[in-house]
Structure 1
Amino acid sequence: MIENYRNSFLKEVEANVEEGEWVKMCMQCGVCSGSCPLGKFWDHPPQELFMMIRAGQRDQVLGSDSMWMCTSCYNCIVRCPRELPITHIMHGLAHYAKRQGLVPANQPTAKFAQKFWDNLMTKGRVNEFKLGLSLYFMNGFGEGIKVAMKNQKLGMNMLKAKRMNPKEIMGGHTVEDLSGFQQAIKKATELEDARIAQPGG
């Protein structure tokens, strides 16, 4: 019965997580962890997550914030002796955990990702000014003032480079066919939901 449970979660990952079928190929060498610039901050480094998946620890894996630590530097992929697409698996696990409603509370990377997505979907282009404001104040007004003061030099440099224009707050650039863009994203989401809903993912 334990073996069935183990196989069940591994199969779930293989069916629903990007590049999930590679998880069983990990040989636990730990090169990925040693190559990661944020390795020491992970609760569970990649090879440990893969071992937990194979051990059937579904809630521990999907409820972890470890995969949200990935910055897409690709050091792990370059150095993996088996060439596992580790970065893709990490993002796939994070995406799947989100779809399952298992993202840890107040996970900063998840909050950033959602704000970036919401900003992009408004007009089909990222409005840096609005995105910056929403990120500065995402943990409250008082904290936002502190963050803004700490990053005022960065903000001024972005203003000079015309990457954060106050005029954008009243408008901003829009893709030519915003309705078409939004419909395409909606259709893609529906197809993904339908795929996941099918037996075997």
Structure 2
Amino acid sequence: MDKSKKLLEAFKLFDAANAQDPNKEVVEGKEYAKELLYAQRMTDILNQFEPKASEALQLTARCQHICRWEIPRESYEMNRVGYLKWRQDLKKFHAEKASALLAQVGYDQETIDRVSFLLLKKQLKKDEETQTLEDVICLVFLKYYYEPFLVKHDDDKMISILQKTWKKMSAKGHDAALKLSFSKKGLALVSKALSDH
């Protein structure tokens, strides 16, 4: 895939911003800034899932969680309303942050607006690229974050999370998800979530 110079420059700026994340994750003995690792995983999964992704979609995948730690979940009420408000505010925050960096690189307004549109998850199920982004987000969750989640939550909660995740995905996303490898328990819960669906 031929990456434009602007795209690589934007990736550099996104990654530099995400490298500031004070939250760390250790993978195979190496420490990473949490959101930097997440951004790189988003790019990897997008490249596998949709190798012909447009430049706007590639940009969006890389900055999906940009500087997320700046708006901590704990700064909102710890209930469903607080959670939804936090998610909405985050989307706007990511769109503003990404737009400023894209402008710095010299992207035109049309591309900047399209990345914002995708970050705000507009027209899910209707807009093909918004759907592809959602599929990639769900696949990244299932591949990298689902198993560690299992340890923290009871089975019923995990089944509910899996069902909500499945609902957001397309048929192509479902096919890709079923090709992922899970632990014995992880697979059992996926099977149960889908059979109860």
With the shorter chain as reference, the TM-score category is under 0.3
- TM-score between the two structures when normalised by the length of structure 1: 0.27
- TM-score between the two structures when normalised by the length of structure 2: 0.28
Bigger Cα Rg:
1
The structure richer in strand per residue is 2
The structure richer in helix per residue is 2
